[in-house]
Amino acid sequence: MTILPLAYLPSVEYIAHLLRDECVIDLGEHFVKRSERNRTRILATGGPMELTAHVRNADRPRQPMREVRLDYSKRWPHQHWVSLVSAYRGSPYFDHYAERFEPLYRAPGDLLAEFNLALLRTLLEAAKAPCDLRLSERYVEARPGDIDLRPKHREGPAFEAEPYIQVFSDRMPFVANLSFIDLLFAEGPQATAVAARCRF
């Protein structure tokens, strides 16, 4: 079994695990700052760019992921959506999928877990990815033989991305393992097949 954290606009590697492994997403683990739980990487005109969803009480110790609340003291949802539009409006499938994601940035809700799950489900539905999400409200103890991809543990095999044509491929080399949204906007209906060809 592969144990995953609940990620914000998860990476291609994350989706590749969901497509091929028996996975569980751990909502009971403790929130880890500066991790994929509230950070993602996209490809902007200047290269890879991190987007961070702001959360309340990020320093609170032992805060279960399912209880982490979003912080709207800054206009990060608007900034993130503007960044996605700016980065990907020239990609082949942006116009096809953008209307699915924009409402989520207009009203992200109160909880980080709900926002992340809504984005993950939208990514999987848009890509017609054949996988069911298995969630655990309680902390998942790793057993011998499990692959634990929660950042504190990070015991997974090395990831080898399957290259695809990215939006700025005319001016920069391929950047591996960005958010799956990069692959979706670039490859559209073929995004799932590309992720499935990635190797561990």
Give the model's pLDDT for residue 154. 59
Task: Write the DSSP symbol of residue 55.
Answer: B
Strands (E), the chain: 2-5, 23-26, 39-44, 47-52, 135-136, 147-148
Query: Could you tell me the mean pLDDT of each successive run of 10 residues in the chain, 200 residues long?
Result: 95 94 92 92 96 88 91 96 97 97 95 97 95 92 91 70 93 95 97 93
Give the model's pLDDT for residue 156. 60
CA distance linking residue 194 with residue 174, whole number of Å: 14
Q: Domain limits of the chain?
A: 2-196
CA distance linking residue 141 with residue 138, whole number of Å: 9
Single pTM value for the model: 0.93
